[in-house]
Amino acid sequence: MTQPLAVLAFSGGMDSTTLAAHYTGTGYRLLLLSFDYGQRHVRELQAAGEVAAHFDAEHHTVDLLGVGKLMPGSALTDPNVAVPDGHYAEESMRATVVPNRNAIMANIAVGIASAHDADLVALGIHAGDHAVYPDCRPAFLDALRASVTTALDGFPNPCIEAPFIAWSKTQIAAYAHEIGAPLEISWSCYKGGRAHCGTCGTCVERREAFTDAGLADPTAYEGAMA
C-alpha cells in the first residue's frame, strides 16, 4: 500500500524539523520544499538538506531569488538592514518581516502538492509568530484554505494543516524531544554564522524554548553561551 504524501514548507528550523518528524511518525512520505528567496545566508538551506537526509525525504529548493530582489527593506534579505537583537516579541523584530513570504511559499507548496496529488500541505507556523508575522496567524490559515479551495476547484485539493498554530515554541521543543526530532541539526539563527549567534530574536526564542521546557539545548552558540 502506497504511503500518503505530505508536502512541507521546510526551512530546516526547529518548527519544520519537528513537523517533518511528526508526519514521518504518523506514516507519511515527505516532499520537503525549501525556498531560496535571497536570504542573507544559506546556512538554513544547508540545514534543511541535512534534516531531509536524516529522514531520507525527497527535498527540493525552490528558486525565488528574483522575487526576493524585488522586496528590499527586510533584515532577512537586505544587507543594509541590520538583524535586530533582543526578544522575538519586541517591536524591533518587525524588521525581519518579508512581506507575504509565508503566503507565497504556502501557495507554491499547494500547487506542487496538487500536481503530485498529495494528501496534505503542512506549515510549521506557531503561536510565537503571531505578534510579528501576519501570515502566521489563524486568520491567514483560514483565508489560505478558502482561497485554495476556490483556486483548485475540480482539481486535487490537498488538506492544509498547521498542527502547531496554537502552540508555543516551548511546546514544540517538548514535542520534538518526545518524538525524537533531530533539532541538533536544525538551524534558526538569522545571522548565519558558523554557530547560532544566540542574540537575534529567533535565537533568543530557541534558547528560551529549551530552557522553559526543561531540556538540554543541543545548539552550538557563539562565544560561551549555553
Cross-strand pairs, 196: 221
Record the pTM: 0.94
The pLDDT of residue 226 is 45
The pLDDT of residue 90 is 74
Provide the 3-class DSSP secondary structure of residue 177.
helix
What CATH code would you report for 5-75+99-187?
A: 3.40.50.620
Domain segments of the chain as ranges: 5-75+99-187
Closest by CA to 39, choosing from 60, 62, 20, is 62
Q: Give the tens place of pLDDT for each residue, 58-117.
A: 999 999 999 999 999 998 888 889 888 988 777 778 888 889 999 999 999 999 999 999
Core vs surface per residue 149-187: b (16+ CB within 10 A) or e = eeeeeeeebbebbbbbbebbbbbbbbbbbeeebbbebbb
The pLDDT of residue 223 is 66
Half-sphere exposure of 168 (CA within 13 A, CB side): 12
Q: Give the tens place of pLDDT for each residue, 165-198.
A: 999 999 999 999 999 999 999 999 999 888 999 9
Q: What is the DSSP string of 186-213?
A: ----SS--SSB-S-BHHHHHHHHHHHHH
